[in-house]
């Protein structure tokens, strides 16, 4: 049963989650100028853990950890680590922009699995809208003839990353009403930090970070694995996973806008066309639901 109030609440949370995810990339981009991704992410996880732990204590100081929350955090951490490993392998043979596009194909994977496993009813304009939005993302990042170069195994790694990240969304949706999202997130960050610390060289490099490096990591920790993840999880309480995942395609749009504000990088005509396609594709299923509700109220 379509509930307009819950739908709008879910859309708002999903959009804020996309904005927060975009905010993660601004300091991340600057941080990579002084450290490799594994070291930066380890710093992000180490800062993100206490932020989320304090948040859980403020929200529910005496609340015990439920088994679904703990098991969900373990599953989420494992899927995230495996997904990031897959991204690293894909980047060995593919340009970063194509890797990003391939990871975002998780939208289609989640829609299909949401229908197959969770028995969600698909909005008739959801898949067409997703295809248009993915085309916009592809167009934004297209870089000429070398864009699709690379051996088939690198593409498989990209699809594997999309499948793993998509599966994590399905996992959270399956248990979202049995867990505390903030508790789950700080456990997930603790486990992710432990996994990253085991990567040779990351822990020793961490102690060599400058004050600026820690500030950049702290800013990313606040927006990326903290606010964006929690907002996205809360959005799943009000939206089908197939609808919620579509809003993740807004992240590159907001990242482009934030790059203008903070990095003085202005979009090209190609990028503006891509942004327009993404916005149009995402709006299609939303407008369909609103019109359907208006028709039902009218009759």
Q: Which of 165, 167, 183 is nearest to 69 (CA)?
A: 183
In a domain, 87, yes or no: yes
Domain that holds residue 179: 4-126+144-252
What crossing angle do the helices spanning 251-258 and 269-298 adopt, rounded to 10°? 130
Please count the structural domains in the chain. 1
132 occurs within a structural domain: no
pLDDT tens digits, one per residue of 88-114: 778 777 766 677 788 888 888 888 888
pLDDT, position 299: 55
pLDDT tens digits, residue range 10-48?
999 999 999 998 888 778 777 877 888 888 888 989 999
In a domain, 56, yes or no: yes
Residue 160, pLDDT score: 92
Q: How confident is the model at residue 132, as a pLDDT? A: 93
The per-residue pLDDT for 163 is 93
Residue 150 has pLDDT above 70, yes or no: no
Q: Is the pLDDT of residue 177 over 70?
A: yes
More confident residue, 173 or 61: 173
State the average pLDDT for the chain: 85
Q: Is residue 28 part of a domain?
A: yes
Asked if residue 15 belongs to a domain, the reply is yes
pLDDT of amino acid 270: 87
Say yes or no to pLDDT of 175 above 90.
yes
Cα separation, 129 vs 287, in Å, equals 11
**The pTM is what?**
0.83
Decide if 267 contacts 260 (C-beta within 8 A): yes
Residue 141 pLDDT class (50, 70, 90 cuts): confident
Note the pLDDT of residue 265. Answer: 76
Instruction: Grade residue 214 by pLDDT with cuts at 50, 70 and 90.
Output: very high
pLDDT in tens, 80-89: 888 878 887 7
Do 222 and 51 touch, CB atoms closer than 8 A?
yes
What's the per-residue H, E or C state across 213-257? HHHHHHHHHHHHHHHHHHHHHHHCCCCCHHHHHHHHHHHHHHHHH
């Amino acid at each position: 049963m379509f509930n307009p109030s819950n739908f709008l609440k879910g859309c708002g949370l999903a959009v804020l989650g996309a904005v927060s995810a975009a905010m993660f990339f601004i300091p991340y981009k600057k941080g990579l100028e002084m450290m490799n991704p594994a070291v930066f992410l380890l710093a992000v996880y180490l800062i993100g853990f206490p932020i989320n732990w304090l948040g859980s204590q403020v929200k529910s100081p005496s609340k015990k950890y439920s088994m679904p929350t703990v098991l969900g955090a373990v599953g989420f951490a494992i899927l995230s680590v495996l997904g990031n490993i897959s991204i690293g392998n894909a980047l060995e043979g593919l340009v970063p922009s194509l890797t990003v596009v391939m990871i975002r194909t998780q939208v289609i994977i989640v829609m299909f699995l949401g229908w197959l496993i969770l028995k969600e009813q698909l909005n008739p304009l959801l898949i067409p809208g997703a295809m248009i939005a993915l085309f916009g993302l592809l167009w934004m990042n297209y870089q000429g003839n070398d864009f699709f170069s690379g051996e088939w195994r690198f593409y498989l790694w990209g699809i594997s990353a999309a499948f793993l990240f998509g599966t994590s969304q399905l996992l959270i949706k399956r248990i979202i009403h049995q867990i505390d999202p903030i508790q789950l997130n700080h456990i997930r960050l603790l486990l992710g930090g432990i996994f990253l610390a085991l990567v040779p060289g990351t822990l020793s490099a961490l102690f060599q970070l400058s004050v600026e490096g820690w500030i950049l990591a702290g800013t990313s920790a606040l927006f990326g694995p903290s606010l964006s993840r929690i907002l996205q999880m809360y959005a799943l309480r009000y939206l089908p996973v197939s609808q919620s995942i579509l809003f993740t395609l807004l992240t590159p749009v907001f990242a482009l806008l934030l790059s203008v504000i903070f990095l003085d990088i202005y979009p090209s005509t190609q990028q503006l066309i891509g942004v327009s396609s993404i916005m149009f594709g995402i709006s299609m299923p939303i407008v369909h639901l609103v019109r359907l509700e208006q028709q039902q109220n009218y009759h």
